[in-house]
Amino acid sequence: MILVLLGAPGAGKGTQAEALAAATGAAHVATGDLFRAEIAAGSELGRTASSFIDAGKLVPDEVTIGMISARLAKPDAAQRVILDGFPRNPAQVAALDAAFASSGRTISAILLNVDVSILTARLTGRRVCPDCGRSYHVAHRPPTVADRCDACGAALITRSDDAPATVAARLENQLAALNDVVELYRASGRLQVVEGVGEISEIQSRLAATAAAVGFSA
Ligand code: AMP
């Protein structure tokens, strides 16, 4: 089964997907993380992606779909997968459906619903670990030791696309496409909605319960 976790930039998809993957043993596949790994490795794909990412735009579909297809072909993605950050537009929804049409694997979507007015503060306050990818927030999820990753001790950084100007562009460029994706899953009867505001642990419980209700559990 494939669980698509939908949400605006800053909705908390990464944090929640990581927790749900840990609780269910599913693979957590995040296109943003895959792009950042390609950029860190200095690959051609990474160079192509970085100009779009730094402008707050979506990376072109042919690049993104090729990358995610290769990832989903790996053995750890053969059973349960949580997709975080994909699909992000109608063409990607169609590509995902087409890829699994003959396999009989169910695709369900859950929208992590967060009002637009709070996304900017969530994104600009985010800090991430450059080594293990763990995500923090200066106010809502601070590390135990200031500016250090709880898991591996590395110095935390601000993602380049979390700079205020890029955050504004990301929200402007990406919210309409997210809405289109949400409506496609709603129209095909595959959408659940979980409120994404509140304590991280409460959201985690709501998400786990909703995921279990559609058959996605440990
Ligand atoms: P994220 O970590 O999910 O916020 O993704 C960071 C950036 O990577 C996004 O702002 C986009 O520029 C790019 N990106 C991630 N996923 C996709 C996708 N499915 N399609 C196109 N671009 C993407």
Domain parsing of the chain, residue ranges: 2-26+79-213
- Measured from the Cα of 35, ligand 1's closest atom is 8
Residue 104 confidence class, pLDDT cut points 50, 70, 90: confident
Sheet holding 107-113, edge to edge: 27-30, 81-84, 2-6, 107-113, 191-195
C-alpha of residue 8 to centroid of ligand 1, in Å: 11
C-alpha of residue 53 to centroid of ligand 1, in Å: 7
pLDDT, average across residues 14-22 = 96
Using one digit for the tens of pLDDT, what is the confidence trace for 180-198?
A: 999 999 999 999 999 999 9
20-23 contacts, C-beta under 8 A, 24 or more apart: 20/82, 20/204, 20/207, 20/208, 20/211, 21/82, 23/208, 23/218
Q: Is 92 helix (H, G, I), strand (E, B) or coil?
A: helix
What angle is formed at CA 151 by the lines to CA 47 and CA 46, rounded to 5 degrees? 5
Task: For 105-131, give the DSSP string.
Answer: --EEEEEEE--HHHHHHHHHTEEE-TT
Going by CA atoms, what residue is nearest to atom 8 of ligand 1?
32
Burial of 92 (0-12, 13-18, 19+ CB in 10 A): buried
At 102 the pLDDT is: 83
At 77 the pLDDT is: 94
Using one digit for the tens of pLDDT, what is the confidence trace for 138-173?
A: 999 999 999 999 999 999 999 999 999 999 999 999
Using one digit for the tens of pLDDT, what is the confidence trace for 20-41?
A: 999 999 999 999 999 999 999 9
C-alpha of residue 144 to centroid of ligand 1, in Å: 28
CATH T-level assignment (fold) for domain 2-26+79-213: Rossmann fold (3.40.50)
The predicted model scores a pTM of 0.93
pLDDT beyond 90 at 103: no
Residue 95 confidence class, pLDDT cut points 50, 70, 90: very high
